[in-house]
Amino acid sequence: MTWQFPDAENVMCDLLDPIAPASTWLGDDWEKNLPQIQVNRIGGGLDPDEVTDTARLQVAVFAVNRAEVQRLNTLVRNAVREAEFSEVGGVQIDTTSEAIAGQQVPDSNPDDRRVISTYTLAFREQDL
């Protein structure tokens, strides 16, 4: 039995993949394959209890227009909220929270839209 903390990026990608393709890297032709979700761990760490890893994850939702990106961002937000005390991809999620609500980020191409949010997922070590 090997106990370890889950890879938070993989768990978030598994959680969000039913909404739109989710990964840590968009790829070279990502603009041609919208919608997409990019997930990156940007912080967090082992809590003072030394039992819980609280991962801070940035989630960027990309879509073809503002209405679609906002719709997908709402689905992402709801999925994260509903994932508390659930299992995703064989990993038990203890808690979830929203650290920074969706922000519309201006882009050099006005036809490309993205919304960036920051969430936390907390896990205990698990037999993976």
CATH of the domain at 19: 3.30.2000.30
pLDDT tens-digit profile of 42-92? Answer: 999 988 878 899 999 999 999 988 889 999 999 999 999 999 999 999 999
pLDDT of residue 127: 83
Number of domains in the chain: 1
Residue span of the structural domain in which 92 resides: 3-127
Report how far apart, in Å, the C-alpha atoms of 111 and of each of 36, 78, 102 are. 15, 26, 18
Entry pTM: 0.91
User: How far apart are alpha carbons 41 and 37 in whole angstroms?
Assistant: 13
pLDDT of residue 1: 65
User: How far apart are alpha carbons 55 and 85 in whole angstroms?
Assistant: 15
